[in-house]
Amino acid sequence: MKTVLVIDDEPTICWGFQNLFGDSEVTVLIAGSGKAGLEIARQNQVDLILLDIRLPDGSGLDFIEPLQAVSPNVSIIAMTAHGELEVAVEAVNKGVVDYLHKPFRLADALAACQRAFELGKQRTAPNTTAPTRTIESISQRATSLVGQSPAMQKVFHQIALVADSDLSVLIVGETGTGKELVAEAIVRHSRRSQQPFIGVAPVAYNPSLLESELFGHARGAFTGADQVRQGLFEAASGGTILLDEIGDLPLSAQVKLLRVLEQKTFSRVGETERRPCDVRVLAATNMDLKEAVQSGRFREDLLYRIGAVVLELPPLRERVDDIEPLVKHFLQQSGYDWERRGLSPAVVESLRQRRWPGNVRELRNAVQRAVVVARQRALIPSDFESGPTPASNHQDTSLPDAIQAWVKEALTMGDKSNASDHPADSGEPIYERFLSLAEPILFRTVLETLDGNRSAAADILGIHRATLRERLARYGIDDPNRR
């Protein structure tokens, strides 16, 4: 016979757990406050506690250690309707074995209880198995992980569970979903938080020099290697390294990375000596790595090693309920007092209706632009539209009309400039002239929206990155050697 203690002031939750186990040999005890639950735990042998975070007499987090003191081998599952990353991390670090976000399905709750029963067979008191440590408040950038949607609560839960381990984590998501922020949050709440954290995007380096950048090189290893150089893995010793856009890692470097993950050693380019490597590896990608494996661009064994834990970030269009809190967060960061000026339902609804291909990053840029456009007045939906405002005498002109007018003018000017019936014969073809005007605007706007991320821009434009790089160089947009 097992005993479950439910500490929650919501009668429906308590009733649900009383009926959850059916006719199984489980006794369910109920407490409506933390103090009442603590007293029941003192008087009974309890195997599992389901603990609400918000109780009438305080935070459930404050009752975790007292409950563990009176029931040293108990498993605790936290429950909350107001999930935040800091709460999830603190609960897990205090010994909570699982985390349920309300409202939850009874089937999910039952599965969590069954897992907890299995853990309870081997469980020892949390305060004897691991040293206590202070939970630091999360960094300002990491607090941009805003969201109350079930999808983001799942992400917070996963971060809390994996943060303090040394498992490799593969963070998967579209461009702009916050993969780097998730990596920072994992590091911030890990035992390596005070050690180096280095992020590197392999695509930003010349493939022939990437291995040297990651693992260092010996003197004379190749032309120009005039001295010994330490690589990023050595610089990150004891800490964490984030490999962004890992799908672009060349196959030769993939072999070395696999050896690092399997053997915890590496060698500098031009050396045979194996060096120990105490580095936790996080990776991020917007690529389908399984498809990359099938096409021979990514090693299958590396995928399994790097993806010991796979954390998937939902696109913004699948978490529209988070748009309003995200907008308020970015407005606050931009110094706009939305609480005093208000945020109209029309603005929120217009933002909810957009597809946001650039995801949270695009939303942040739109909010920052809107603050500049609105100055200090109340925001309106048009403040969030991208691109310059048309001249007053063309405000009602649609894009097709504008293109048609330009073509007619170009043809007329061509007829006036030469006697040919085909104005394009006089010089640059009209098609090339049109592209030279339209493409720079298109490329600049897309890059500005995506914070200069060329990989994401190429995906959205539907062209190869090499093609985009060549076009940017042609039009003198940015440095063609940059990512």
Q: Residue 174 — very low, low, confident or very high, per pLDDT cuts 50/70/90?
A: very high
CA distance 225 to 290: 36
Q: Which helix (H) or strand (E) holds 175?
A: none
CA distance 454 to 41: 58
Range of weakest confidence among 47-61, 355-369, 467-481:
467-481
CA distance 27 to 4: 6
Q: What is the pLDDT of residue 143?
A: 42
Q: What is the pLDDT of residue 228?
A: 78
> Is 0.75 surpassed by the pTM of this model?
no
Tens digit of pLDDT for each residue in 11-36? 888 888 888 876 667 888 999 999 99
Q: Residue 360 — very low, low, confident or very high, per pLDDT cuts 50/70/90?
A: very high
DSSP 389: P
Of all residues in the chain, what percent are helix, strand and coil, respectively (each to 5)? 50, 10, 40
Q: What is the pLDDT of residue 23?
A: 61
Average pLDDT score over residue span 312-320:
93
Average pLDDT score over residue span 104-131:
64
What are the backbone dihedrals phi and psi of residue 134, each rounded to the nearest 5 degrees, phi first?
A: -80, 135
DSSP 246: G
Q: What is the pLDDT of residue 138?
A: 31
3-state secondary structure at position 143: helix
Cα 225 to chain centroid, rounded: 37
Tell whether the model's pLDDT for residue 136 goes beyond 70: no
Range of weakest confidence among 1-5, 257-261, 399-403:
399-403
CA distances from 401 to 247, 389, 395, 435, 442 (A): 42, 17, 12, 17, 18
Tell whether the model's pLDDT for residue 406 goes beyond 80: no
Tens digit of pLDDT for each residue in 227-264? 778 888 888 899 999 999 899 888 888 988 898 888 88
Q: What is the pLDDT of residue 133?
A: 27
CA distance 85 to 153: 8
On the question of a cis peptide bond just before residue 103, with omega within 30 degrees of 0, the verdict is yes
Average pLDDT score over residue span 4-16:
89
CA distance 192 to 186: 10
Q: Which residue has the tokens 């639950």?
A: 37
Cα 32 to chain centroid, rounded: 37
Tell whether the model's pLDDT for residue 397 goes beyond 70: no
Q: What is the pLDDT of residue 419?
A: 39
Q: Which residue has the tokens 């991390």?
A: 89
**Domains of the chain listed by start with CATH number:** 2-128 (3.40.50.2300), 142-218+227-312 (3.40.50.300), 319-384 (1.10.8.60), 397-475 (1.10.10.60)
Regarding beta strands 240-243 and 75-80, do their DSSP bridges make them parallel or antiparallel, or are they unpaired? unpaired
Burial pattern 139-169, b for ≥16 Cβ within 10 A else e, equals eeebbbbbbbbeebbbbbbbbbbbbbeeebb
| Residue 394 buriedness (CB in 10 A; 0-12 / 13-18 / 19+) | exposed
Tens digit of pLDDT for each residue in 143-171? 458 888 888 888 888 888 888 888 999 99
pLDDT more than 70, % of the chain = 84
Range of weakest confidence among 42-46, 175-179, 218-222, 252-256:
218-222
Q: What is the pLDDT of residue 243?
A: 92
Tens digit of pLDDT for each residue in 113-125? 887 887 766 544 3
Regarding beta strands 240-243 and 280-285, do their DSSP bridges make them parallel or antiparallel, or are they unpaired? parallel
More confident residue, 140 or 97: 97
pLDDT more than 90, % of the chain = 23
